[in-house]
Amino acid sequence: MTNNTVEARRAVFLDRDGVLNQVVIRGGKPFPPSSADNVELIPGVTEACASLRKAGALLFCVTNQPDVARGTARREDIMAINLRLQRELSLDDVATCYHDDGDGCACRKPKPGMLIELAFRHSVNLSRSVMVGDRWRDVEAGINAGCQTVFIDYDYNEQRPANVDFAGRSLTEVLPWILKNFLNTESFF
């Protein structure tokens, strides 16, 4: 692959729970669905992903799933959710961290390991890519990987990101900014 091809490859890294699918809120904090049968896409996500793909972006889901390490979720259930989302949204790839904070892995957001691995595997230029997430860890992972960052703000009862390039209330709301300022197009469909 030539250097120019690598330069042209752009990606949108999407957090899973709260960006692509609905979360369950308990105590002001978001929690993932328990199974693929319980997954409910956020309204407008299918169309937003189609618009990003049409604009030439590769689409990746990057998700922390520490409940596996904590023993409160099964890896098979997480993989089934990921597969369902990958199929329904035509995602190019999904990366999952099953570790908890104390495990010291390189993949758990806010560390950039999942983004770096996907970028390497798919020849993506991280400086021309964007990370979209609804938690501070997502934004920090994007910054740590050298991406632009978009924060979906649901006003959770938790730490907020310190720096972000753009913020909105849904993927649909931030889509015009990504298309215009990042992917250099205003074509939505």
Q: Is 17 in the active site?
A: yes
Residue 63 inside a domain? The answer is yes
Residue 9 lies in a domain: yes
Active site (annotated) includes residue 93: no
The pair phi, psi for residue 21, each rounded to 5°, is: -125, 160
Phi/psi-derived region of residue 186, left when phi > 0, alpha when psi is between -120 and 50, beta in every other case: alpha
Residue pair 175/52 in contact by the 8 Å Cβ criterion:
yes
CA distances from 116 to 92, 124, 154, 175 (A): 15, 9, 27, 23
Q: Looking at 15, 67, 138, 165, which residue is catalytic?
A: 15
Tell which residue, 98, 10, 18, has the closest CA to residue 55. 10
| Residue 145: φ, ψ to 5° | -90, -10
Q: How many domains does the chain have?
A: 1
Query: Nearest-CA neighbor of 175 among 90, 49, 10?
Result: 49
User: Is the residue at 189 inside a domain?
Assistant: no
Q: What is the CATH number of the domain that holds 93?
A: 3.40.50.1000
Q: Going residue by residue through the chain (189 aa), what tens digit of pLDDT does each one get?
A: 444 444 558 999 999 999 999 999 999 889 999 999 999 999 999 999 999 999 999 999 999 999 999 999 999 999 999 999 999 999 999 999 999 989 999 999 999 999 999 999 999 999 999 999 999 999 999 999 999 999 999 999 999 998 999 999 999 999 999 998 766 654 433
Please give the residue range of the domain that contains residue 136: 3-182
DSSP string spanning 102-138?
A: GG--SSSTTS-HHHHHHHHHHT--GGG-EEEESSHHH
Residue 138 domain flag: yes
Check residue 60 and report its DSSP letter.
E
- The pTM of the full predicted model, rounded to 2 decimals, is 0.92
Choose the catalytic residue: 17, 67, 134, 165. 17
